[in-house]
With several copies, the nearest count.
Chain A
Amino acid sequence: MTTLTLSKAINTGLHHALADDDRVLLLGEDIGRLGGVFRVTDGLQAEFGADRVIDMPLAESAIIGAAVGLAFRGFRPVCEIQFDGFIYPGFDQIVAQLAKLHYRTRGAVRMPVTIRVPYGGGIGAVEHHSESPEAYFAHTAGLRVVTCSDPQDAHTMIRQAIACDDPVLFFEPKRRYWTKGEVLEDLPTDPLAFTHARTVRSGRDATLVAYGPLVQTALDAAVAAADEGVDLEVIDLRSLAPIDVDAVVASVEKTGRLVVAHEAQRSGGIGAELAATITERCFDVLEEAPVRVTGFDTPYPASALEDHFLPDLDRILDGVDRAMGRRSSMPSSTGRAEARTAATTGEEGRR
């Protein structure tokens, strides 16, 4: 057990994957000598050589397309997309080739390709560097979409994603790269463990679902809510496609209330799918409509505005209020902000 940052936990996960299976290759822009712009691949080219940790020309479609060809040859490529907003030039190769080849060939051709995508906002970046495009891929049959929220999961899940025989979009919450945590380098025996949701806090009153960067925010919100007498169960979804619906159903059957939080735009986001599915499965036990706390249906804004776009502790608590049947954000209600602000962690509190 060692204490690692989330980015280092991925780095050690990649190291294990490269060491354990010589069919594993890394492909990406600036991942070699530079070690990636976030240093997630730091030192790997020096150790495993330029044939296995491959700096690719500046072309995302080529990165994915080459990975498809390498998978045909029996390799397990791990692609790095430098930032979320740069994945779109590779979109065609992902949705029309990578996602479909196994189905197209009735299982003859496997595509064990992992695509690592640092994603999400909150780092004060310029345009295209703060996006959350996960829903595009979750809507694409043939892909698995997962995301991690802490160093342990980051380490375990990247290794499991690489070991998985399906293509996996692996979203890394870039603003949590520097979060530290204990990491055990043992792998669970269930090869699909990385697709199971994880209850990160038990509670009775409402189910709060989050993933990636917002899991920590959700936990902070649960602490604040507890001060107000609301006992939240917090679930880290981990897998966005497929969603571990049974896990959320079990929780909602207990609590009767659901709040789902994500940074991505609201319309057609993961929250929509989860809300629709949970309503289908839990209609009779739901006390209130599921509540979505999400980015707005705007492009990711200039960084000076990102605190308004991003769901934070206060907006999650507001969503919890709505799920509890207390609609604090309606014009009539006032005055609960102060108590809340006191409970926040500073980092998460609205400035």
Chain B
Amino acid sequence: METHTQFPQDPDGAGGDARDRSPEDQAVRGPGPSDLVQLIDPDGHRREDALYDLFVADLGLDDLLGLYEDMVVSRRIDTEATALQRQGEIGLWPPLLGQEAAQVGSARVLRRDDFVFTSYREQAVAYCRGVELDQLMAMWRGTALSGWDPFAVGMATPAVIIGAQTLHATGYAMGCQRDSSDAVAVAYFGDGATSQGDVNEALVLAASFRAPVVFVCQNNQYAISEPVGLQAQRPIAERAPGFGVPSMRVDGNDVLAVTAAMRIAVDRARSGGGPTFIEAVTYRMGPHTTSDDPTRYRDEAEVASWRAKDPIVRVERLLDAAGVLDESARARVARVADDAAARVRAGCLALQAPDPLSVFDEVYATPHPVLERQRDEYRSYLESFDGADGMGGVR
């Protein structure tokens, strides 16, 4: 009965359509057929798009090489973290494998004073924002609930409750307006998240206040086991215009297309144009998390078809063809990746369980007698063991 008509979410062969589109303000589209923008195809060929090309015209091969490096490093971080999970050093890891272009292409557009609110899979965004790699691991190793100081990097720690962060980003953007700042807020979330009330409320709110917020939906085709067709009967990018939020639909495995779309959106936000919604059509190549078994719900054939659209390989091909990816460039990228992996591993292993009594720390910013009494009681309790065998470890 409830067949979820799966509309074509496949990026192939869609890139050219955008060409006959008109001027700059056509980039963000009102309601209408959602063609998918692609600037680099899976074979590494540059495809022209009269409109989107305008927004990446200043980017040379060197810049592309930089994005390539970020993607390679991100993947390497991901692989290392997955290995650490298999070795029992962290409890869980949500691989971003396959989503490097969507994350790097968007995050690299931002300024330091922009602010990013993400979900739990945006490790490449965190890397681009400058999160220290040991701090990246703390949440997954369980030595802390979250790893870094958001204000140090302009990025909130991950929101695990699906969709909640989209409202935070919108609120933050309303704050930027009130500060007459041209900083923007960005909300990252998944295809599954679009079903949550909060995400839709964020669209209402952002539209009502023309808030300088960019919604970046990584449609990786799955919410754990549920295919996107269960969450959305239309391409996700078609949702936002009905709220008054213009949207774009881009090949999320194409770092250049993502960059172009993000620049359009960020420029609009900075210049008072209000919110924009970007659907980056990508694929979660790995399991939902290291605890997941995707063979229960999807075919190897499907995975293979997406493997052919790998976001890194296509850039590699392009750079190779352009003669930019010589031995020394490869070696340098490999060195940066190796170094990042080493920092992930060493940083992770160095993370220690905090002091037992720190369980009571920072619940409140101001004194709280009931909690302080609980802390005192627990300290006494732990000390009651010290005489016996030194357990408790209270400093």
To the question of whether A and B form a pair in one complex, the answer is: yes
A binding-site residues for B, Cβ under 8 Å: 25, 29-30, 32-35, 37, 50-52, 54-59, 61-62, 64-75, 77, 85-86, 88-89, 92-93, 96-97, 100, 102-110, 112, 124-129, 141-142, 144, 164-166, 191-192, 241-246, 266-267, 296-299, 301-305, 308-309, 314-315, 318, 328-331, 333-338, 341, 350
Once A102-B364, A242-B369 are accepted as A-B contacts, the answer to whether A304 and B161 lie under 8 Å apart by CB is: no
Once A70-B171, A245-B369, A296-B360 are accepted as A-B contacts, the answer to whether A37 and B145 lie under 8 Å apart by CB is: no
Contact B146 A72 (CB under 8 A): no
Once A62-B195, A296-B374, A309-B359 are accepted as A-B contacts, the answer to whether A331 and B168 lie under 8 Å apart by CB is: no
Selected from B361, B371, B388, the residue in CB contact (under 8 A) with A242 is B371
Is B172 close to A, CB under 8 A? yes
Q: Give bound CA distance, A341 to B140, whole Å.
A: 30
Is B223 close to A, CB under 8 A? yes
The 10 closest A-B pairs by CB, nearest first: A69-B171, A65-B167, A73-B175, A303-B142, A66-B171, A334-B387, A34-B225, A242-B370, A165-B365, A304-B353
Selected from B167, B178, B358, B378, the residue in CB contact (under 8 A) with A61 is B167
A106 nearest CB neighbor, chain B only: B362
Hey, which chain A residues are within 8 Å of B91, CB to CB? 124-126, 303
Least CB distance from B35 to A in Å reads 26
Is B169 close to A, CB under 8 A? yes
B binding-site residues for A, Cβ under 8 Å: 1-2, 91-92, 115, 117, 120, 139-146, 149-151, 156-157, 159-162, 164, 166-179, 185, 192-193, 195-198, 201-202, 204-205, 208, 223-226, 230-231, 291-292, 296-297, 353-354, 356, 358-371, 373-375, 377-378, 380-381, 383-389, 391
Hey, which chain B residues are within 8 Å of A104, CB to CB? 145-146, 157
Contact B2 A50 (CB under 8 A): yes
Once A65-B198, A72-B171, A297-B370 are accepted as A-B contacts, the answer to whether A57 and B208 lie under 8 Å apart by CB is: yes
20 contacts between A and B (CB under 8 A): A34-B225, A35-B296, A37-B291, A55-B226, A58-B223, A66-B170, A69-B168, A72-B115, A72-B156, A97-B168, A102-B364, A105-B146, A105-B149, A105-B150, A109-B151, A126-B145, A308-B356, A330-B384, A334-B388, A335-B387
Hey, which chain B residues are within 8 Å of A92, CB to CB? 161, 164, 198
Number of cross-chain contacts by CB at 8 Å: 294
Contact A57 B201 (CB under 8 A): yes
Contact A33 B225 (CB under 8 A): yes
Q: Give bound CA distance, A92 to B169, whole Å.
A: 16
Hey, which chain A residues are within 8 Å of B370, CB to CB? 241-243, 245, 267, 297
B169 nearest CB neighbor, chain A only: A69
Q: Give bound CA distance, A306 to B319, whole Å.
A: 49
B231 nearest CB neighbor, chain A only: A57
Interface majority SS (helix, strand, loop, mixed), chain B: helix
B92 nearest CB neighbor, chain A only: A126
B224 nearest CB neighbor, chain A only: A30
Hey, which chain A residues are within 8 Å of B386, CB to CB? 334
Contact B176 A73 (CB under 8 A): yes
Once A69-B170, A125-B92 are accepted as A-B contacts, the answer to whether A58 and B208 lie under 8 Å apart by CB is: no
Least CB distance from B28 to A in Å reads 22
Contact A69 B389 (CB under 8 A): no
Hey, which chain A residues are within 8 Å of B1, CB to CB? 50-51
Once A191-B366, A328-B384 are accepted as A-B contacts, the answer to whether A304 and B171 lie under 8 Å apart by CB is: no
Least CB distance from A314 to B in Å reads 8
Hey, which chain A residues are within 8 Å of B168, CB to CB? 65-66, 68-69, 72, 97
Selected from A32, A86, A297, the residue in CB contact (under 8 A) with B374 is A297
Hey, which chain B residues are within 8 Å of A75, CB to CB? 175, 178
Selected from A57, A129, A144, A309, the residue in CB contact (under 8 A) with B204 is A57
A330 nearest CB neighbor, chain B only: B380
B172 nearest CB neighbor, chain A only: A69
Hey, which chain B residues are within 8 Å of A328, CB to CB? 384
Contact A67 B144 (CB under 8 A): no
A241 nearest CB neighbor, chain B only: B370
Q: Give bound CA distance, A88 to B115, whole Å.
A: 26
Contact A34 B353 (CB under 8 A): no
Q: Give bound CA distance, A165 to B168, whole Å.
A: 18
Contact A127 B145 (CB under 8 A): yes
Contact B195 A58 (CB under 8 A): yes
Contact A302 B297 (CB under 8 A): no
Residue of A34, A305, A331, A333 with most partner-chain B CB within 10 A: A305
Selected from A70, A96, A296, A329, the residue in CB contact (under 8 A) with B384 is A329
Hey, which chain B residues are within 8 Å of A68, CB to CB? 167-168, 171
Q: Give bound CA distance, A303 to B141, whole Å.
A: 8
Contact A72 B363 (CB under 8 A): no
Contact B369 A30 (CB under 8 A): no
Selected from B160, B367, B381, B391, the residue in CB contact (under 8 A) with A128 is B160
Least CB distance from A175 to B in Å reads 14
A141 nearest CB neighbor, chain B only: B363
Selected from A65, A191, A337, the residue in CB contact (under 8 A) with B391 is A337
Contact B195 A59 (CB under 8 A): yes
With A51-B177, A69-B170 given, can you name 17 additional A-B contacts, CB distance below 8 Å? Answer: A32-B225, A34-B296, A55-B226, A58-B226, A59-B205, A65-B171, A69-B168, A72-B115, A72-B150, A72-B168, A86-B162, A89-B196, A141-B371, A192-B367, A244-B369, A308-B378, A337-B388
Contact B178 A65 (CB under 8 A): no
Hey, which chain B residues are within 8 Å of A141, CB to CB? 363, 371
